[in-house]
Amino acid sequence: MRWIVALILACLAVPAAAQTFINPSAIDIPDQGAADSVISVSGLQGLVSSVSVTLSDVTHTFANDLVFGLVSERAGIGLIFWSEAGGAYAVDHQTLTFTDTASAFLPSTVLDDKAITAGSYLPSNWGSYGFNGLTNAIFFAGFNGINPNGDWRLLAFDQAAGDTGSVSGGWSLSFKTTGGTGGAVPEPASWAMLIGGFALAGAALRRRRGGRATIAAA
């Protein structure tokens, strides 16, 4: 009997294989404006042990304008994983994955002054931005231990005038879960609450004509 119990406990302790959810719809990022896209996750058992985000076919004419964030509406947790990267270079049809297991950050506008290329990156919030009204994570590990089911919202923001972009191939979320149970999915938070929380803190450095742009509520 003891060995059966031990086997059950061992199986429960083993993280499940990564499961990926995709929203293939293109995201158009307006000039000095915000766009969002939702992935509704359901059917996952256990609690989050890791999560990663992939943005497919990203294009923008001035990389430093871009800010990307991920929000778990159920948990009220947000993570800005891209800001003030890539300097004055364009982003040219690049596919990027953001994960805590990557070995490099996006090139900082201030420190590196390099173009952004396809690959896997650590969360790269060089501008130290955050969401108002949400718990702000620094790494994707900030989502660990929560129920993965429910709506996850990608927020894309262009923080200065003069350029536009898109995520033409949509985006995806990959999860690993372990232990625990999923539970029911509550009603999602309203978009008004989330966009109100997308008032990014601080002043964003914009390396064009020596100007600076202060981020206000979108």
pLDDT on residue 113 = 84
pLDDT in tens, 181-214: 655 444 444 433 444 444 443 333 333 323 322 2
pLDDT on residue 151 = 98
pLDDT on residue 188 = 44
Residue 140's SS3 state is helix
- The pair of three-digit structure tokens given for residue 133, joined into one six-digit string: 């009204």
The region that residue 43 occupies, defined by phi over 0 for left and psi between -120 and 50 for alpha, beta otherwise, is: left
Residue 125's SS3 state is strand
Reported as type and span, the H/E element at residue 51 is strand 47-60
pLDDT on residue 103 = 97
Give backbone dihedrals phi and psi of 37, rounded to 5 degrees, phi first: -150, 145
Give backbone dihedrals phi and psi of 140, rounded to 5 degrees, phi first: -65, -20
pLDDT on residue 192 = 37
pLDDT in tens, 103-141: 999 999 999 889 999 999 999 999 999 999 999 999 999
Is residue 147 within 8 Å of 28, Cβ to Cβ? no
Residue 21's SS3 state is strand
State the Cα–Cα distance between residues 41 and 72, nearest whole angstrom. Answer: 10
pLDDT in tens, 49-77: 999 999 999 999 999 999 999 999 999 99
pLDDT on residue 215 = 28
Residue 85's SS3 state is strand
Residue 112's SS3 state is coil
Give the HSE-up count for residue 74: Cα atoms under 13 Å, Cβ half-sphere.
21
Cβ-count burial of 124 within 10 angstroms (0-12 exposed, 13-18 middle, 19+ buried)? Answer: buried
pLDDT on residue 180 = 64
